[in-house]
């Protein structure tokens, strides 16, 4: 297959490039490098089936030749990024998704949208299943990401219904692994780097809020299965093992053998109090569930961060 990956130079996008190249496909990696980096794809430069195109997908997307599948992953995705880049985030989720869908119609390509657990906002249903509509503050700082992705889901379903293209929506829960940006402000790089540097781990709020963390290779396997399935409804992909942020901080201290302390800082506005995916749909229709235990994924990630710290 000839596969276009928007946001292909990002953390998850670059792992998708690797996976499709390793399976013998042709990959066009499109990115404007706003939050992605050429370092993430440097190892693919000499690969004949790989091509990088520097393009902002909020502008018309033109690709020569056939395209069999489009995976639309372009977007800032960490809270500090999208809060710093609110308009770009809204534009890539709306205009960027519209352009990517237009290309899918033209090429009669399959289309997969990277959506997010943020569509559930600060959820009132726990764990979150796909049938839950969410509790999102549209005008809060996170609204720029949450509403952009909710619009992206709506326009994807509209293109599916009107233009009859084969669309898929993956709702990605917290994912971690090699190539996360060191300074993306998320809890995984923050805690690992703080622990490795002997600095205090910054726990926001009282640390009782929860998250569920999935190792990147598991996420990529789920996405590939979804792309090859006949499902058009959204699917949660994530690891259902839930931790409070306090438990997670202690686990990082243990795995890094660090004597760092914890400091408590202000909880960001609208920070969801709980988050855990219900993955019954992925299990039933994709025969997918995560295989890498969180500790094992973290060990690999810590090893990678050690080289960068």
Examine residue 239 and tell whether it contacts ligand UDP (CB under 6 A): no
Asked if 145 contacts 76 with a C-beta cutoff of 8 angstroms, the reply is yes
Residue with the two structure tokens 């980096």? 37
199-218: contacts with ligand UDP (CB under 6 A): 202-204, 209, 211
Site size for ligand UDP (CB under 6 A) = 15
| Minimum separation from the CB atom of position 214 to ligand UDP (A) | 12
Contacting range for ligand UDP; rule: CB under 6 A; set: 65-73, 83-91, 148-156, 196-204: 196-204
Tokens coding 229:
């399935």
- Binding region for ligand UDP (CB under 6 A) out of 35-43, 66-74, 197-205, 279-287: 197-205
The yes-or-no answer on residue 132 being catalytic is no
Provide, rounded to whole angstroms, the least separation between the CB of residue 129 and ligand UDP: 18
Residue 200 burial (CB count, 10 A): 13
Site string for ligand UDP, 65-84 (x = CB under 6 A): -------------xx-----
Cα–Cα distances (Å) from 143 to 13, 114, 122, 223, in that order, read 23, 17, 11, 25
In the numeric block, which tokens belong to residue 247? 């438990």
How would you classify the pairing of strands 167-172 and 110-116?
parallel
Q: Which stretch binds ligand UDP (CB under 6 A): 13-21, 184-192, 218-226, 280-288?
A: 184-192
Residues 6+ apart with CB under 8 A from 154: none
Instruction: For ligand UDP, give the closer residue by CB, 76 or 225.
Output: 76
- 20 within 8 A of 3, measured Cβ to Cβ: yes
Element (H, E) at 244: strand 242-244
Active site members? 145
Binding site for ligand UDP (CB under 6 A): 78-79, 174, 186-187, 190, 202-204, 209, 211, 245, 267-268, 271
């Amino acid at each position: 297959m000839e596969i276009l990956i928007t946001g292909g130079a990002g953390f998850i996008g670059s792992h998708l490039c690797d996976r499709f190249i390793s399976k013998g496909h042709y990959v066009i990696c499109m990115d404007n490098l706003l939050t992605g980096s050429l370092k993430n794809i440097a190892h693919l430069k000499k690969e004949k089936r790989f091509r990088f195109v520097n393009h902002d997908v909020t502008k018309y997307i033109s690709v020569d030749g056939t395209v069999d599948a489009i995976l639309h992953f372009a977007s800032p995705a960490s809270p500090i990024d999208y809060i710093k880049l609110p308009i770009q985030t809204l534009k890539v989720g709306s205009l960027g998704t519209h352009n990517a869908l237009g290309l899918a119609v033209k090429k009669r390509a399959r289309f997969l949208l990277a959506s997010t657990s943020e569509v559930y906002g600060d959820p009132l249903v726990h764990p979150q299943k796909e049938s839950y509509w969410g509790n999102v503050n549209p005008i809060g700082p996170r609204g720029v990401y949450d509403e952009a992705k909710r619009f992206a889901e709506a326009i994807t379903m509209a293109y599916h219904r009107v233009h009859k293209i084969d669309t898929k929506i993956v709702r990605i829960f917290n994912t971690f692994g090699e190539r996360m940006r060191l300074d993306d402000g998320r809890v995984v790089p923050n805690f690992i780097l703080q622990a490795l540097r002997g600095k205090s781990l910054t726990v926001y709020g009282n640390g009782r809020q929860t998250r569920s963390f999935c190792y990147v290779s598991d996420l990529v396997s789920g996405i590939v299965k979804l792309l090859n399935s006949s499902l058009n409804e959204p699917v949660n992909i994530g690891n259902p093992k839930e931790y409070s942020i306090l438990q997670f901080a202690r686990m990082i201290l243990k795995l890094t053998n660090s004597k760092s302390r914890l400091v408590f800082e202000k909880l960001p506005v609208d920070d969801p109090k709980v988050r855990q995916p219900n993955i019954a749909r992925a299990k039933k229709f994709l025969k997918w569930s995560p295989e890498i235990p969180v500790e094992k994924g973290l060990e690999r990630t810590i090893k990678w961060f050690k080289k960068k710290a």
